[in-house]
Amino acid sequence: MASGFFALLDDVATLMDDVAVMGKIAGKKTAGLIGDDLAVNAEKASGFMSARELPVLWEITKGSFLNKLIILPLVFLLSAFVPTAITIILTIGGLYLSFEGAEKIHEFFFSHAKKDNKPQLKKLSKEAVLSMEKGKIKSAILTDFILSVEIVIIALSSIANVDLLTQIITVTIIAILATIGVYGLVALIVRMDEFGAKLISLNEKENSISNKTGRFLITALPIVVKGLSVIGTIALILVSGGIFVHNIPFIHDLLAGLPAILGEVLAGLVIGFLVLLIIKLASKVWKKYN
- Please state the domain extents for the chain: 33-183+229-288
Identify residue 59 by its one-letter amino acid code: E
- For residue 256, the SS3 value is coil
Model confidence pLDDT, tens digit, residues 241-287: 888 998 899 999 999 889 988 999 999 999 999 999 999 999 988 88
Q: φ and ψ at 208, to 5 degrees?
A: -75, 160
Residue 260's contacts (CB-CB under 8 Å, 6 or more residues apart) are 245
Model confidence pLDDT, tens digit, residues 183-207: 888 888 878 878 888 888 887 777 7
Between 4 and 61, the more confident residue is 61
CA 141 remoteness from chain centre: 9
How does the average pLDDT of the chain come out, rounded?
78
CA atoms within 13 A of residue 147's CA, in its CB half-sphere: 32
Long-range own/partner contacts, residues 111-119 (CB < 8 A, 24 or more apart): none
Q: How far apart are CA 109 and CA 48, in angstroms?
A: 23
Q: How far apart are CA 83 and CA 76, in angstroms?
A: 10
Helix, strand and coil in the chain, % to nearest 5: 90, 0, 10
Rg of the chain, C-alpha, whole Å: 22
pTM over 0.95: no
